[in-house]
Chain A
Amino acid sequence: MPSIIGLLQNPFILRAILAVVLISVLAATAGSFTIFRGLSFLVAGIAHAAFAGAALALVLYQYGCLSGLDPLFVALLFGVMMAVVIGLTERPESISKIEVSIGVAFAFSMSLAILFISLMKEYSIEAWALILGDILLLTINDIIILTIITIIDTFIFVLFMRIFVFLSFDPEGLRAIGVNVDVYHILMLVLIASATVVLLKGVGVILVYAVLVVPSAIANKIANDVLGVMKLSFVIALLSGVSGVFISTVLDIVPSALIGLILVFIYFIVSALKR
């Protein structure tokens, strides 16, 4: 069995651990506010829209277009566009209506994704890599993009923290004192969307929900205030991520699946204890 020091000398594992730290910061910020707003389905919807964007980029590569451009940028564009469209379609007060529009956008983007995959001749392996994700295969470029988005997202979440908290608590009350709720609502959706998209290469379309949202869902059952939920989300995401990376390396299994299983296991334990 390899030692921990030995594992840390492996650049793939080092990059994975760095990614886990950054992902944990996004789980604490974007993940927590997804739970506070009651919009956890948004993460799944955005992930699929982003996947459609990446699939489009891969189809265009076939025809010699966009060559050299990381498909993640097109994914980011699709994810952010979906967030803006959802933000413009329904009022921030109508969470149930927003969930329906996420569902419609989900169906639309998944239809597009399947259409694009069917047009692929050479790049379907890259598409599958995005669906499954692998945190051990992240490149320096991936880490740089993840770092930039994490810094930007965290800065904006901290700057407008108070407004985002009360936008989640009572948008009507916030509107009544003259805050432009519609703008902050769309800004929050875009921040959550960008956090979701940059996680895709590491954890995949399917498991991004588990990694981004489940730590905050667990923390929200335990912590006593907003900051407590955010701190605890970070710790839960970090511990499950680091242990998932190490165990998966030793057992030679996919880390994202293991991280997802660890998180869901913790969620059920906490739910059972809190009942």
Chain B
Amino acid sequence: MSKPLLRVRGLSAGYDKEPVIRDISFDVYESEICVIMGPNGAGKSTLLRSIIGLARVYSGEIEVCGYRIPHDIKNIRRIIGYVPQREYVSQNIPVTTKDVVLSGITLRKGPLYIPTRKDMYTVRRVLERVGIGRELWFKKFNELSGGQQQKVLLARALVFHPRILLLDEPFSGIDIKSLREIIDFLVEIKKSEKLGIVIVLHEISEILAHVDRIMLLNKRMVACGDVLSVLTPENLKQTYGVDVDVIPYGDKCLPIIGDRHA
């Protein structure tokens, strides 16, 4: 097997006072989707944030394409596309769809950078790829539907051709049609771009068939591996603290009635 794009070993990370997550170890390879699941406050977002240098690493190692945190954080940020939770994105400011995606390029080049034709071409292309039509390019972001907003944020994270994509609860508050379109797109680009994709989720039944690796997390890593070996009633009870129904479906999918919240 080739070297992993993301390699995490014995990670304890958190914020000012103490670690939120402890002793986390996992790998993500190219063309792979890794899902991280756990209850509220389990530290899922902290784990994502530690990979892009936004949380404090107390101990352990994070290596991204051979670069290490914290020393190589500038290089790491050039190869990671990050999609934060949509609820943290302001709806007060009338930024257009095109400008949101273009910011993925321009903000990396300094305050005085003037976008080139090539940049505009790249933006149009990535918007087309995520399924945002021309009629929406000059529309205000805050007037788009939840699914369209999520696609635009995804386009912004992809516009500078990252090697790894980190998505924090990308499916919350979007309709089933948009959800399936986004899943299909993620599956397509993980293969075509050889991306490593890490997704933090609460409920995974829709994407389960395409998940290569799954981690259950509740402050500590409960289990990590392939879907069948990780999603057992015992592991789920240890993670969520309640009994969770697991319904076998075929030899790969295990739609579960998991932790749902708005």
Closest to A161 in B: B111
B141: chain A residues within 8 A (beta carbon)? 169
A38 to B93, CA, bound (A): 9
- Contact call B96/A225, Cβ cutoff below 8 A: yes
Q: Which stretch (A4-12, A170-178, A188-196, A260-268) binds chain B?
A: A170-178
A170: chain B residues within 8 A (beta carbon)? 84, 88-90
- Contact call A168/B94, Cβ cutoff below 8 A: no
B176 at the binding interface (Cβ < 8 Å) = no
**From B74, B82, B94, B103, contact of A223 by CB (8 A):** B94
B95: chain A residues within 8 A (beta carbon)? 165-166, 169, 225-226
B199: chain A residues within 8 A (beta carbon)? none
B107 at the binding interface (Cβ < 8 Å) = yes
A93 at the binding interface (Cβ < 8 Å) = yes
Closest to B98 in A: A225
Using C-beta atoms within 8 Å of the partner chain, give the interface range for chain B.
20 to 34
- Contact call A228/B90, Cβ cutoff below 8 A: no
B123 at the binding interface (Cβ < 8 Å) = no
**From A178, A220, A228, contact of B77 by CB (8 A):** A178
A162 at the binding interface (Cβ < 8 Å) = yes
| Min C-beta distance of B14 to chain A, whole Å | 15
A46 to B111, CA, bound (A): 28
What 1/0 flags go to A206-233 for Cβ under 8 Å of B? Answer: 0000000000000010011110110000
| Min C-beta distance of A8 to chain B, whole Å | 36
Assess A38 versus B90: contact at CB under 8 Å? Given A162-B111, A178-B77: yes
Chain A residue total in the interface (Cβ 8 A): 32
| Min C-beta distance of A130 to chain B, whole Å | 30
B242 at the binding interface (Cβ < 8 Å) = no
A221 to B240, CA, bound (A): 44
A172: chain B residues within 8 A (beta carbon)? 54, 84, 88
| Min C-beta distance of B146 to chain A, whole Å | 15
Closest to A175 in B: B54
- Contact call A168/B111, Cβ cutoff below 8 A: no
| Min C-beta distance of B71 to chain A, whole Å | 14
| Min C-beta distance of A96 to chain B, whole Å | 12
A165 to B153, CA, bound (A): 15
- Contact call A35/B77, Cβ cutoff below 8 A: no
What 1/0 flags go to B113-140 for Cβ under 8 Å of A? Answer: 0000000000000000000000000101
| Min C-beta distance of A38 to chain B, whole Å | 5
- Contact call A173/B111, Cβ cutoff below 8 A: no
A37 to B93, CA, bound (A): 8
A228: chain B residues within 8 A (beta carbon)? 94
A162: chain B residues within 8 A (beta carbon)? 103, 106-107, 111
Known A35-B92, A159-B111, A225-B94; 19 more pairs at CB < 8 Å = A37-B90, A38-B92, A93-B88, A160-B111, A162-B103, A163-B111, A166-B95, A168-B92, A168-B93, A169-B90, A172-B88, A173-B84, A173-B153, A176-B52, A177-B77, A223-B94, A224-B94, A224-B138, A225-B95
Can you list 9 A-B pairs with a CB-CB distance of less than 8 A? A160-B111, A168-B92, A169-B93, A169-B103, A170-B90, A172-B84, A175-B54, A176-B80, A225-B95
B residues adjacent to A (C-beta < 8 A)? 52-54, 73-74, 77, 80, 82, 84, 88-90, 92-96, 99-100, 103, 106-108, 111-112, 138, 140-141, 153, 156
